[in-house]
Structure 1
Amino acid sequence: MTDHIFDNGLAGYGLGGVSANDSPRAVRAWRHLRWGLCALSFCAIPAFYAELTVPTAFALNLSRTLYLGIFAGFALSFTWLAHLSRRPKTLLANNWLDLTIALGAAFSIGFGTPPWQPVEWLLRLSFMGLVALRIVLSLRGFFAPNRLMWLLLAGALVLAMAGAGFYWLEPRVHSYAEGLWLAFESSATVGYGDIAPTTPASRVFAAFVVLLGYGMLSLVFASIAAVFIGKEERALRREMHRDIKRLNDEIARMHAELKALRQTLDGPAHRRDPDASSVTRADD
């Protein structure tokens, strides 16, 4: 069992959080900061698309302001955590993904205006991929498979936002309903081919919808399966307990019968022993 206050197994992904053995003040601070950092991660999505799809001075300034907010939020949070932590180097090493996102946001503030060169496309897509990975991993602990209603609500919200995104980004999508259909196709990885992303912005958006939507749908279906499996497991557990109780009763009854049989066999032996001793004394 991990000793990091984030989620089981996430230290290997660069989201180790704060160790439970660290300073209590650092642990308490992380419990409040981790959801704020997750919310800041979402700001990278409108920043990316505002810069990509609306090439105006206002959109560029808005995008860079959002990147600045991401960098400032991550930098200040980990500076404060490092100040509170007993092992700041270990803390920073266990959260290298957040530090990489902060660094990527810092570079996005002052570099690049569309149209982007191939190298910048690669760097920005890598940055957005890391942001998407962080969002999915950080939400994994909250949307546990046993929270079916929360998962259904979150899945519906993801599809609703993805449908709006496709309606905004894809010229071939002429209504919000078509945007929802394309979002469902992408999330379920069906790909009927009736509607397909055609612009670079919508194709990049489709990649993120596949990653996030497929993950959410997988959790929903896993949670539904867990409900039925849980019922069967509880029935099997009750049946196993009944069998164990029945077996214990049979063992107790066998012990009682064995004890009674032993007493029955020992009775004549005790009666024969005095006779044998009297015969021995008479011979003497």
Structure 2
Amino acid sequence: MANSLGFFTIGGVDSHDNPRAVRAWRHIRWYLCACSLLAIPAFYGELTATTDAALFVARALYLCMFAAFALSILRLLYLSKKRKALLLHNRLDVLITAGAALSATWGAPPWQTAEWVLRLLFVSLVAVRIVLSLHEFFTPNRIVWLLGAGAAVLALAGAGFMWLEPRVHSYADGLWLAFESSATVGYGDIAPTTPASRVFAVFVVLLGYGMLSLVFASIAAAFIGKEERALRREMHRDIKHLNDEIARLHGEFRALRDALGNPAVSTAQSPRQDEREPR
């Protein structure tokens, strides 16, 4: 089944395609999801790089990401019988492959306006892909998973703010800023001041607000689910009672039909009719 958000899709391999390609996609899709995470340290590593070694590491991460996506797409194209449809159904992966290659070979901080736009667009595409890959896990009825994922997001966001924001001097301050951002509270005691921390705050707000909304929706669904289950039990009892009544009526109707169609009964009734006739 295709995961899509308008134009951006990661539809994988058609179920009617080569079975080898379908089996390969089942493993490759999680491999690509993991490789997508490389864009996060690569983006911020390049943005905050102060030495050639740090810049080289960030470029290497982009290059690893490009190689993973390119080899995976080529592998699927080799196995697929519907190559054009495969590329159309995985437009997002094709764009990310091109973006990773461009990021690994072009531009260096401080970025110009055009570079900022292109790199933010690339990181946004990667974020969309990660969300589409994991959307089946973020359903409102999985409250335990949502709570764990929300805690993990806050923990990573706290570490990110401690790394990117000079005014954050401890991990506790980073967690507090991450909570303020994800909950959209904004007390103002700590605020992002650098371009890197501000860009990071944007993604924390978008991701954290979505996670908190799902958590509260899941809690509300848990309370509503109790009433729904009670209502379903009552409906099942009523349906069972109706089925029993219908079965009883069918039995009586069948007995009546058999009685009317039995020749012995007709013969037994005929003398009574003859007695009523005048002699």
**TM-score normalised according to structure 1 size:** 0.85
Change (3 A) 1:254 1:151: same
Q: Which residue of 2 aligns with 1:75?
A: 70
Change (3 A) 1:86 1:250: same
The 5 Å alignment of 1:168-179 reads 168-179=163-174
Q: Percent identity?
A: 68
Contact 1:132 1:212 in 2 (8 A): no
Contact 2:137 2:145 in 1 (8 A): no
- Report the RMSD for the aligned CA atoms in angstroms: 2.8
* CA positional deviation for 1:170: 1.3
Q: Which residue of 1 aligns with 2:156?
A: 161
Is 1:233 the equivalent of 2:228?
yes
Unaligned ranges ≥5, structure 1: 264-270
2:147 to 149, 152, 158: 152
Between stretches 244-253 and 95-104, larger displacement belongs to: 244-253
Change (3 A) 1:247 1:46: same
Between stretches 192-201 and 111-120, larger displacement belongs to: 192-201
2:106 to 108, 111, 115: 111
Per-residue deviation, residues 19-55 of structure 1 (Å, max 9, x unmatched): 2221111111111111111111111111111111123
Per-residue deviation, residues 113-145 of structure 1 (Å, max 9, x unmatched): 111111111111111111111111111123443
* CA positional deviation for 1:255: 7.5
1:95 to 80, 90, 95: 90
Contact 1:18 1:26 in 2 (8 A): yes
2:203 to 199, 205, 208: 208
1:33 to 12, 28, 34: 28
Per-residue deviation, residues 215-267 of structure 1 (Å, max 9, x unmatched): 22233223333333332222111011112233444566778899999x9xxxx
Change (3 A) 1:141 1:248: closer
Separation in 1, partners of 2:130, 2:154: 16
Separation in 2, partners of 1:201, 1:106: 22
Separation in 2, partners of 1:248, 1:124: 64
Separation in 1, partners of 2:12, 2:143: 26
Q: Which residue of 1 aligns with 2:43?
A: 48
* CA positional deviation for 1:172: 2.1
Q: Secondary structure at the match of 2:137?
A: coil
Change (3 A) 1:24 1:279: closer
Separation in 2, partners of 1:105, 1:127: 8
Separation in 2, partners of 1:110, 1:248: 71
Q: Secondary structure at the match of 1:192?
A: coil
Change (3 A) 1:258 1:111: closer
Unaligned ranges ≥5, structure 2: 260-267
Separation in 1, partners of 2:225, 2:196: 43
The 5 Å alignment of 1:7-26 reads 7=3, 13-26=8-21
Change (3 A) 1:127 1:274: same
Q: How many residues align?
A: 272
Is 1:243 the equivalent of 2:243?
no
Separation in 2, partners of 1:229, 1:27: 39
Separation in 2, partners of 1:107, 1:150: 36
Contact 1:187 1:213 in 2 (8 A): yes
Q: Which residue of 2 aligns with 1:60?
A: 55
Q: Secondary structure at the match of 1:55?
A: coil
Change (3 A) 1:250 1:190: same
> Residue type of the partner of 2:217?
A
Separation in 2, partners of 1:59, 1:106: 18
